[in-house]
Amino acid sequence: TASEPLLEVRDLEAWYGESHVLHGVSLDVREGETITILGRNGAGKTTTLRSIIGIVRKRKGVITLRGQDLLALPQHKVARAGLGYVPEERGIFASLSVDENLSLPPKIADGGMSIADIYRIFPNLEERRNSPGTKLSGGEQQMLAIARILRTGARVLLLDEPTEGLAPVIVQRIGELIRTLKTQGYTIVLVEQNFRFAAKLADRFFVMEDGRVVDTFATTELSARMGSLHEYLGV
């Protein structure tokens, strides 16, 4: 049914070597929904995304996509299942042009977005199509990183702090872009420190602290949660 989670994480634990970082993360996203993971630096937000996608291999718990167990899959098969990850450091090819960056990712799942469609929703990237990655602004690099993931055919997008370090006007552009993807039915997991930005996009919030989800609420409850959020986030 429509209310069943598309992606579900239950009691996820994760380690870097001997260092136990996640202590039981549970969250879920329904198809077409946008959720936001909030939390202070070091709370485990990035590690949660890296564990879902399989970069962090030392994990325990349950991660399913459409009921399929992701924990058992090698990383390339997770991508093929339709999950795409845009890391905070963006991961574009700096020496290659926008066009080349968009031509490289293989179509690893069905329904990868065409370059023409990419340029329709990222007109500024088309203007810069022959520029190398190094010449792009931070906002353009972020958009290119997202565009590359759309090329792969991923329908579930894990975005790690896409607004980090960007000017307010660019943050707004990224917000419009995420809203466009949402209307196109993409399912989005957004890690974000800026909850005012996230409030305009997210359906629900999950708050992390010390490697656990300590609170979850619908965006409609955000204003009522401001007090406890300030406590969790130290803002």
Applying CB under 6 A, which residues contact ligand ATP? 16, 19, 21, 39, 41-47
Closest C-alpha to 36, from 155, 202, 160:
202
Give 44 or 84: the residue with its C-beta nearer to ligand ATP.
44
Nearest of 124, 156, 141 to residue 27 by alpha carbon: 156
> What minimum distance in Å lies between the beta carbon of 31 and ligand ATP?
25
The one-letter amino acid code at 141 reads Q
Do 36 and 202 contact (CB within 8 A), yes or no? yes
Give me the least distance between CB of 185 and ligand ATP, in Å please. 27
Query: Residue 12 or 102: which CB sits closer to ligand ATP?
Result: 12
Query: Could you tell me which residues are beta bridge partners of residue 215?
Result: 207
Shortest Å distance, C-beta 135 to ligand ATP: 27
Long-range contacts made by residues 124-127, C-beta under 8 angstroms, separation at least 24? 124/173, 125/98
- Whether 57 contacts 65, CB under 8 Å: no
Nearer to ligand ATP, 45 or 151 (CB): 45
Work out how close the CB of 189 gets to ligand ATP at its nearest, in angstroms, rounded to a whole number.
13
Cβ-based nearer residue to ligand ATP, 46 or 101? 46
* Alpha-carbon torsion, ordered 185, 191, 197, 199, to 10 deg: 70
- Work out how close the CB of 42 gets to ligand ATP at its nearest, in angstroms, rounded to a whole number: 4
Q: Which is nearer to ligand ATP, 91 or 106 (CB)?
A: 91
Provide the minimum distance between the beta carbon of 118 and ligand ATP in the complex, in angstroms, as a whole number.
28
Torsion of CA 27, 226, 176, 140, to 10 degrees: -80
Q: Is 127 left (phi over 0), alpha (psi -120 to 50) or beta?
A: alpha
Whichever of 17 and 123 has its CB closer to ligand ATP, that residue is 17
For the bound state, the minimum distance from the C-beta of residue 195 to ligand ATP, rounded and expressed in Å, comes to 13
Residue 41 or 183 with smaller CB distance to ligand ATP: 41
Amino acid at 112: G
Among residues 31, 26, 29, the alpha carbon closest in space to that of 62 is found at 26
Structure tokens at 87: 């890391």
Say how many residues make up the chain.
Answer: 235
